[in-house]
Structure 1
């Protein structure tokens, strides 16, 4: 099987259109990988199989901790693939996280 990660615009918490949005923005797929309970529920309600993603060294690679490091100007790049770092920097992710953390 092949795995593809797609960028899908946010629905601004209009959860009822999330699955339709994903279906419109992504190529055809036969399952969804997520650990988010709401995302799982929404896709299962549409009859799309959902599988959990196994965590890898969660203590070190926990998203909440990495986002906090970014917002607080702590070392964070070492925890992410260089391409992920590039995307975060290209979309102004550092500034956006600082705004979310009110910094």
Structure 2
């Protein structure tokens, strides 16, 4: 991660396929992308305490049920990209748990 707001958007763009719209519930992320000329949208937060990324990642790392907390399409993508393996690898060096 880049800890510099001035270059963060360009860093994300360099790592992503082309896109025109940014979805984020984070006001800073929306502001940074809007200032960079991107359309931004804030998705509705539904049951945020249940569908919380930190909780889902913790469950993945602990081998607990996480699939019930995300849509089936997300489960399929996580499996396809070996997301849990990637998360475990990242957790060796990064602080992904709260």
Find out whether 1:101 has 2:86 as its counterpart.
no
Give the count of matched residue pairs. 88
What is the aligned partner in structure 2 of residue 46 from structure 1? 36
Find out whether 1:71 has 2:55 as its counterpart.
no
Q: Which runs of 5 or more residues in structure 1 are unaligned?
A: 1-11
What is the aligned partner in structure 2 of residue 59 from structure 1? 49
Q: Residues of 2 paired with 1:57 and 1:92: CA distance?
A: 26
Q: Which runs of 5 or more residues in structure 2 are unaligned?
A: 93-98
Residue 99 of structure 1 deviates from its aligned partner by 1.7
Structure-1-length-normalised TM-score: 0.66
Find out whether 1:82 has 2:72 as its counterpart.
yes
Contact 2:9 2:33 in 1 (8 A): no
Structure-2-length-normalised TM-score: 0.68
What is the aligned partner in structure 2 of residue 33 from structure 1? 23
Residues 21 and 73 of structure 1, relative CA distance in 2, 3 Å threshold = same
Contact 1:71 1:94 in 2 (8 A): yes
Residue 17 of structure 1 deviates from its aligned partner by 1.5
CA RMSD of aligned residues (A): 2.7
